[in-house]
Amino acid sequence: MTKEDIIELAARAAGYSFKWGKDWHDKGAPLVDDKLWNPLTDDGDAFRLAVDLKIELMVTDQYANACFDMVVYSEPLGKDARKAARRAVVRVAVEIGKGMKND
């Protein structure tokens, strides 16, 4: 799964008005409501995604754990705890998005 697929599925899960703009790989920049949106790199975007989907996030000394219903994802912290937390939230959102029917 590409980063583009991940971002698109996460946006779908939250019901965001999502489209591809210009200048980001082949598809252009990811946009939500005509604003740049990338929860893999932006703490605020990841936080809003977690809140909107009611994803629970817990960070321990070693892992960032995100869960929604029966979907759980644990990401090792490594050197960047915030990156791990963003990734955990997005991975749970992707699983939610995969479970949704295409519109």
Residue 11 in any domain: the answer is yes
Name residues whose C-beta falls within 8 Å of residue 24's C-beta, 6 or more positions apart in sequence. 30
CATH number of the domain that 51 lies in?
A: 3.30.2120
Residue 13: give the domain boundaries: 3-98
Q: What is the mean pLDDT of residues 8-31?
A: 80
CA–CA separation, 53 and 11 (whole Å): 10
Q: Domain for residue 19, yes or no?
A: yes
Rounded distance, CA 2 to CA 69, Å?
25
Using one digit for the tens of pLDDT, what is the confidence trace for 39-91?
Answer: 999 999 999 999 999 999 999 999 999 999 989 999 999 999 999 999 999 99
CA distance 89 to 101: 21
Residues 6 or more apart whose Cβ sits within 8 Å of residue 70: none
Residue 20 predicted with pLDDT over 60: yes
Q: What is the total count of domains within the chain? A: 1
Residue 82 lies in a domain: yes
Q: Which residues does 103 contact at the CB level (< 8 Å), separation at least 6?
A: none
**pTM more than 0.75:** yes
Residue 14 predicted with pLDDT over 60: yes
Q: Does residue 103 lie within any of the structural domains?
A: no
Q: Tell which wins on pLDDT, 87 or 99.
A: 87
